[in-house]
Structure 1
Amino acid sequence: MFALFDDAGKLNAGRILSSADASVQVELDSGRRLKVKGALVLLTFEQPAPAALLEQAAALAADIDLDLAWEFAPEDEFGFAELAALYFDDPPSVVQQTATLLKLHEAPHYFRRAGKGGRFRKASAEVLQQALAAIERKKAVQAQIDAWAAELVAGRCPEPVRAQLYRILFRPDKNAPEYKAVVHAARESHLAPLALLQRAGAITSAYQFHWQRFLFEYFPRGTGFADLSAPPLPEDLPLADGVAAFSIDDSSTTEIDDALSIQGLGSGTVTLGIHIAAPALAIAPDSALDAVARQRLSTVYMPGHKITMLPDAVVQAYTLLEGAPRPAVSLYLTIDEATLEIHGATTRLERVPIAHNLRHDQLDTVVTAAWLDDPARAPEAPPEVAALHAPLAFLWRLAQACKARREAVRGRPETFTRPDYTFKLEGVTGPEPSGEETVLIGTRARGAPLDLMVAEAMILANSHWGQWLASLGVPGIYRSQASLAPGIKVRMGTKALPHAGIGVPCYLWSTSPLRRYTDLVNQWQIVACARHGAAAALAAPFKPKDTSLLAIISAFDAAYTAYGQFQSTMERYWTLRYLRQQGIAELQAAYLKDNLVRAETLPLVLTALGTDGLQRGERVRVRLGALDEITLEASGTVIEKLGDVEAVAESDDTLEGEVEAPLAAPLAIAVAVEDADDGAPPAAPAP
């Protein structure tokens, strides 16, 4: 005697060895023995043998007309044997019953199960039609998937797949037919999806690939702004008395956040003015402009282009452009001219006359340490710069003194082992680069006088204002670093904690409110302190223990990191383009570790063969191999050891990433990168 039974939703058959009231012992053709509950035994029979039964039933089931079976089926619940009697003969054979049961299992859209024991109920006519229509749609979609996959395998990219390129690669909907077509084609062609799409012509421009990928992820609605105008400034802002401020930035800078002024030279007591653009005096928290800034959180930088945090019309209303008084939050420090000790500090909200917008890329060869010591060494200095020799010379002395004091707190000097690299694109004709422009990569020595003047002045402002907020009980967004020990990172928080990397008791970002949202938030708090003094904690937009500050920190940290990574991506792209455009086949490099070498004259880290036995910093000549502008991979082979060893720090110990520095940030690929700041584009190595 044999039994047909339900084996975990699948029909199976075997020889009955023994039976009881609630179960039977069954042996399959394979020799395996099962204990089957009596309720799961659907049919007992003597012939044919189980294997033959299932084979004959499967062949017969293929010929059953489901529409006809549905017509014959009772309206009420029925058993499979009943339907077999109506469709075939009465009584139906074992094979016919089994074939009917197999067909019922295969057609849930026609018949749904009604409990165990082979009971079913047929679907209503309306439900059946909907199910059949859905099946046809599914077949049509699958046919489309197959057609698209065939095109991809053949090296052609269907337009619907091209339109969904970035979603497919970076944020796929795995149920979308376009995604399924790419997966199917990748399996058929034995290619990775990216390589498959490249071969099919879906990616026509490496530059656009990186650019559109970034926009897809962070600016899916585009980079434009709503029609927002700059709110008016307070009409009662006083004019700064006797101030003629000057800014120091790159020529491409439009968001001029900071300027400096010097008064009292020769009197023994000098007043240093640090003037910061003041959008916080006009943009109110929770306003429409605040919502835009909080959504973007920072200006995004890349060679030849940028996406500003605020609309250009708003930036132009508050930027410290030369030629007229501009609204500013000013910090005035009283300094002993001889000892350079700071004896007092005052913060004012005012309008500051901006006399000059100096451009460091035009003046670095003029404003040198030698010229600052003796102006006769650079008689070719432009008149406006020559007139500023005395203030610049004082700032240079002060910057060196401030740096030395911080280094004493840090416990070790700051080291600069690499230059900064600047990128300039020639031939940009549209609102943004096309990726085909000629790129020029230049260098600028770190710690150049103009750079250091700005950096040290911003440290003074950010450290002083941080301590001032803390003394008044007003919360801010701080940056801290517990120590310079390896692995101790810079962290953001609401507590005024020491920053070991800079060597100050506390530090916040407040000097770039036009291009960084944390600075705008901190400027609102500073303005409240300037206006209300000891009562500022009650009047400031953000109160102590305000959880919204933590939300801002979290969002800003994520966005700023992503923007910095994108800048590094685009700088690496342009570096690879430079190698191609200049026809560079070999370069000199220094060995880092793990088969990585760093080019001596370009911002490029790449993998190289033949590095076995090299010590860290050893100089080599590398023949370049494959350069892939899509994956940004670069490789080479060591062809010569140059003998000497270059000093290579584990991570260059710089202030970039924490303070304003009007220069392009270096590219750091495959080495420790943590923080970034604004004086230049973000994405520089952190202290």
Structure 2
Amino acid sequence: MASHIVQNPSAGCIVKFMQGNEPQIAWVMEEQKGKLRLFLPNRRETTLSPSRILPWAGPSYPATQSKDAVVELLNRHRERRERLASEVAPMELWEMAQGEMERAPAEWFAELGYTSPDADAVAACGRALLQCKTHFRFQPPEFEIYDAATVESRRQAEEAARVREAMVCGGADWFRRLWEARIGRHPAPDASTAPEEPVRGRLEKMLRARMRDPETVEDEALWKQVTKGLPDDPHLALLLAMTWGLVPEHYNFWLDRADYESGTAWEEPLESETQELIRAVEEGGSLPPAEDTVFISIDSATTRDIDDAFCIASAADGGWDVEVALACPAWFWNFDSALGKAVFHRATSIYLPEGNCHMMPEALGEGAFSLFEGQARPALVVGAHVAPDGTLGEGSFRFSTIKVAKNLNYPDCEAALDGVENAASPFVESLRLAAAMSDRRLASRVEHGAVIIERPEIDFELEGEGADITVKLRPYPAAPRAQLLVAELMVVANAVLAEWAVKNDVPLLFRTQDVAVPREYAGVWKSAPDIARVVRILVAASLDVVPRPHAGMGLSAYSPVTSPLRRFTDLVNEAQLLSVLTRGSVRWSREELSDMLMHLSIRLEAAGQVQRFRPRYWKYLYIQQQARAHGDECCWKAEVAEENDMWVSVSLPEVQLGLRGKRSLFGEKVFPGQELHVRLGKVNPLRNEAVILDVREC
């Protein structure tokens, strides 16, 4: 054993004890009533229980030393012990001891490094082992030696604690500087001055997690610490991330919340399967039988995912024979493949002012399956007879390979109906027949209780990039007849499919709105008061596997199938119909569709939030930019939609937004339909909020 180690220290012995998580050196002056009176290097005295003395007391000196001599001795031993402790390698001691011993005193470890360790060497070794908490645990008078698994676990815990401490200190300071830059107190800090890894990565991960879900409880305590003193804003993480440069200004966080990837990077792992489908269409060997029916399509001029076309003819009874050709990816689709599962997860295409996010890879949805003129494409052809009074006859269905004769756009078709010569003129007779049919179908649906809400569409134009984006809004080019005829053709196809499914007990996904609508609410409504009135009695349409009425459509059943390139529900229904017609059996039972719908509804709701809230963001940003450009004189035309004793709701036709203001702002004489001018303030695009500050009569 080491020399000069004292088991029961008495007067004149040098000892150590723990204080403030550090071993302190002292001189035993005397023992009083079972306690030791100690003299410290700073010439102060203290009294301790012998149990607090570390088990490497010594050496001992004559108790008659002067205080100056004691101070000199203590300092000499302390300096030597600190020097020796710096030379101790705890990891090497653990390597030698691990597996050999479960516990050992400091003297045993000291003897591994020294032939005859004295008290200073033992104390130095004990000090080093005390600091190595990942490998040793001090249980007086011995050190427990952890096994390798415990060491690794404690090392990870220690690293996590170190990172956490660094995050609390460095993260809080970094976030504070980002926020101050955000509100304009000073320029944005250079990203190179951000905390070092792994703190930087942890902070970034935390911000991204809270952009996706502000209510997440992950790292909740840590988040509160690093954002202490910052505003309690639900979009704080997004604002900090934009200032940091992790995401661009005007970042679409709604896509993150929907777990919906924009761009085309998601397509890359699916390239092989995508190319196989493209080759199958191009080679044509497995396509359905070809036909030469003359179909035309009508879409926006920029549309590339063309999933419907039609032909129409006069019927002998004065009605119309209609055929709607629909893109048919279902002919080749493998729902269980990686591509099939990825498209299922996306569930729908999302159309935004800054760009479109497609449900399918662009090479398919805007390529191989899209109904481009002159290109052979697999198609589902839905046929139906529409009687002169708009009554819909029984549907027919076939799968064919078609070539669309012409891809037309809405403005050209509208102009052709007005007699203007353009690209749509050769098909004007079909357009006129379709327009007449659509008028009668709409009237028939209204007679059956349909509630139609019409609002002008807004066309967005975004100029610039990042923080310099400027929003411009303008009314979408009006083409009411062309748009109505396409809409009614789609309703015809979806309605006859639903009726066929009900009659033949074929499980499909149905869109329902099963609510009682008073007869006086049926009609086409355009004014703000009328829209506010009818919206109150309508519930949102939903998907179901059980056919129920769709009150808003005025139909007893409605099963979407007309957008298989853009909506997964339509692709599923198309595949179910294909299975019944070609194999004589359903692909999915009603129970299997119900199971599918559980996940599909969640995905559609998430994507629906993106589609609802993101365009509103740009509208509110437009309002904000106009206010900054024109100051207090910036007013907006408004139409009173409804009013009560507390609030007045108005519609802003220029931006197609509804706002609510305090009744006191509007005066006593306010009524639905009244036209006013309002001045707005506290515009927050992220929250889709603006406050009515002032109201003026027109």
Amino acid at match of 2:243: A
Partner of 2:421: 381
Partner of 1:356: 406
Write the mapping of 1:176-325 to structure 2, written as runs, cut at 5 A. Answer: 176=219, 182-189=223-230, 192=233, 194-195=235-236, 198=239, 202=243, 208=249, 210-212=251-253, 214-215=255-256, 217-219=258-260, 223-224=264-265, 225=267, 226-227=270-271, 228-229=274-275, 230=277, 232-233=280-281, 235=286, 237-241=288-292, 243-263=293-313, 270-315=320-365, 316-325=367-376
CA–CA separation in structure 2 for the residues paired with 1:59 and 1:484: 87
CA–CA separation in structure 2 for the residues paired with 1:482 and 1:60: 82
Residue number among 459, 462, 475 corresponding to 1:443 in the alignment: 475
CA contact (8 A) 1:206 1:629 kept: no
Amino acid at match of 1:465: L
- How far does residue 292 in structure 1 lie from its aligned partner after superposition? 2.3
CA–CA separation in structure 2 for the residues paired with 1:474 and 1:451: 31
CA contact (8 A) 1:335 1:344 kept: no
Partner of 2:17: none
Q: Tell me whether 1:586 sits opposite 2:635 in the alignment.
A: yes
CA contact (8 A) 1:186 1:196 kept: no
CA contact (8 A) 2:560 2:569 kept: yes
- How far does residue 514 in structure 1 lie from its aligned partner after superposition? 0.7
Partner of 2:510: 478
CA–CA separation in structure 2 for the residues paired with 1:354 and 1:141: 63
Write the mapping of 1:32-51 to structure 2, written as runs, cut at 5 A. Answer: none
Write the mapping of 1:26-175 to structure 2, written as runs, cut at 5 A. Answer: 64=52, 110=137, 123-124=144-145, 134-135=157-158, 138-139=161-162, 141-154=164-177, 155=180, 158=194, 160=200, 161-162=203-204, 164-171=206-213
- How far does residue 274 in structure 1 lie from its aligned partner after superposition? 0.8
Q: Deviations over 1:593-651 (max 9, x none)?
A: 64653312212234545247544544332112132333333223123134xxxxxxxxx
CA contact (8 A) 2:394 2:500 kept: no
Partner of 1:512: 563
Partner of 1:42: none
Q: Say which SS state the counterpart of residue 293 (structure 1) adopts.
A: helix
Amino acid at match of 1:550: S
CA–CA separation in structure 1 for the residues paired with 2:250 and 2:470: 18
CA–CA separation in structure 2 for the residues paired with 1:511 and 1:283: 16
After superposition, the Cα gap between the structure-2 partners of 1:68 and 1:201, relative to the gap in structure 1 and judged at 3 Å, is: farther
Q: Say which SS state the counterpart of residue 295 (structure 1) adopts.
A: helix
Partner of 1:630: 686
Residue number among 526, 545, 554 corresponding to 2:590 in the alignment: 545
CA contact (8 A) 2:298 2:407 kept: yes
After superposition, the Cα gap between the structure-2 partners of 1:272 and 1:136, relative to the gap in structure 1 and judged at 3 Å, is: closer
Amino acid at match of 1:441: L
CA contact (8 A) 1:149 1:181 kept: no
Partner of 1:19: none
- How far does residue 259 in structure 1 lie from its aligned partner after superposition? 0.6
CA contact (8 A) 2:547 2:557 kept: yes
CA–CA separation in structure 1 for the residues paired with 2:50 and 2:679: 66
CA–CA separation in structure 1 for the residues paired with 2:227 and 2:322: 64
Amino acid at match of 2:638: A
CA–CA separation in structure 2 for the residues paired with 1:305 and 1:334: 38
Write the mapping of 1:459-474 to structure 2, written as runs, cut at 5 A. Answer: 459-474=491-506
CA–CA separation in structure 1 for the residues paired with 2:50 and 2:482: 85
CA–CA separation in structure 2 for the residues paired with 1:281 and 1:184: 56
Partner of 2:114: none
Q: Say which SS state the counterpart of residue 298 (structure 2) adopts.
A: strand
Q: Say which SS state the counterpart of residue 388 (structure 1) adopts.
A: helix
After superposition, the Cα gap between the structure-2 partners of 1:621 and 1:325, relative to the gap in structure 1 and judged at 3 Å, is: same
Amino acid at match of 1:402: R
CA–CA separation in structure 1 for the residues paired with 2:676 and 2:474: 22
CA–CA separation in structure 1 for the residues paired with 2:639 and 2:51: 75
CA contact (8 A) 1:586 1:622 kept: yes
After superposition, the Cα gap between the structure-2 partners of 1:193 and 1:240, relative to the gap in structure 1 and judged at 3 Å, is: closer
> By percentage of residues, which structure has more helix?
2
CA contact (8 A) 1:360 1:450 kept: yes
CA–CA separation in structure 1 for the residues paired with 2:478 and 2:54: 80
- How far does residue 515 in structure 1 lie from its aligned partner after superposition? 1.0
Q: Say which SS state the counterpart of residue 396 (structure 2) adopts.
A: strand
CA contact (8 A) 2:459 2:476 kept: yes
Residue number among 549, 573, 581 corresponding to 2:617 in the alignment: 573
CA contact (8 A) 1:469 1:525 kept: no
Q: Tell me whether 1:390 sits opposite 2:429 in the alignment.
A: yes
CA contact (8 A) 1:481 1:499 kept: yes
CA–CA separation in structure 2 for the residues paired with 1:215 and 1:325: 37
Unaligned 5+ residue runs, structure 2?
1-32, 36-45, 58-101, 104-133, 181-188, 518-536
The higher radius of gyration belongs to 2
Residue number among 553, 559, 575 corresponding to 1:524 in the alignment: 575
- How far does residue 222 in structure 1 lie from its aligned partner after superposition? 7.1
Q: Deviations over 1:567-586 (max 9, x none)?
A: 22221222133335553521
| Identity level (%) | 22
- How far does residue 147 in structure 1 lie from its aligned partner after superposition? 2.1
CA–CA separation in structure 2 for the residues paired with 1:491 and 1:197: 32
Q: Deviations over 1:262-287 (max 9, x none)?
A: 23578967432111111111113323
- How far does residue 349 in structure 1 lie from its aligned partner after superposition? 1.1
CA–CA separation in structure 1 for the residues paired with 2:34 and 2:55: 30
Residue number among 598, 606, 612 corresponding to 1:562 in the alignment: 606
Residue number among 585, 597, 605 corresponding to 2:650 in the alignment: 597
CA contact (8 A) 1:332 1:345 kept: yes
Write the mapping of 1:638-649 to structure 2, written as runs, cut at 5 A. Answer: 638-642=694-698
Partner of 1:94: none
CA–CA separation in structure 2 for the residues paired with 1:187 and 1:295: 37
After superposition, the Cα gap between the structure-2 partners of 1:415 and 1:310, relative to the gap in structure 1 and judged at 3 Å, is: closer
Amino acid at match of 1:579: I
After superposition, the Cα gap between the structure-2 partners of 1:135 and 1:238, relative to the gap in structure 1 and judged at 3 Å, is: closer
CA–CA separation in structure 1 for the residues paired with 2:381 and 2:637: 47
After superposition, the Cα gap between the structure-2 partners of 1:192 and 1:211, relative to the gap in structure 1 and judged at 3 Å, is: closer
CA contact (8 A) 1:285 1:541 kept: no
- How far does residue 455 in structure 1 lie from its aligned partner after superposition? 1.4
CA–CA separation in structure 1 for the residues paired with 2:51 and 2:667: 70
Q: Say which SS state the counterpart of residue 305 (structure 2) adopts.
A: coil
Amino acid at match of 2:420: E
Q: Deviations over 1:315-354 (max 9, x none)?
A: 2111111123432111222455x56655554212112231
After superposition, the Cα gap between the structure-2 partners of 1:622 and 1:385, relative to the gap in structure 1 and judged at 3 Å, is: same
* TM-score (norm: length of structure 1): 0.66
- How far does residue 555 in structure 1 lie from its aligned partner after superposition? 2.1
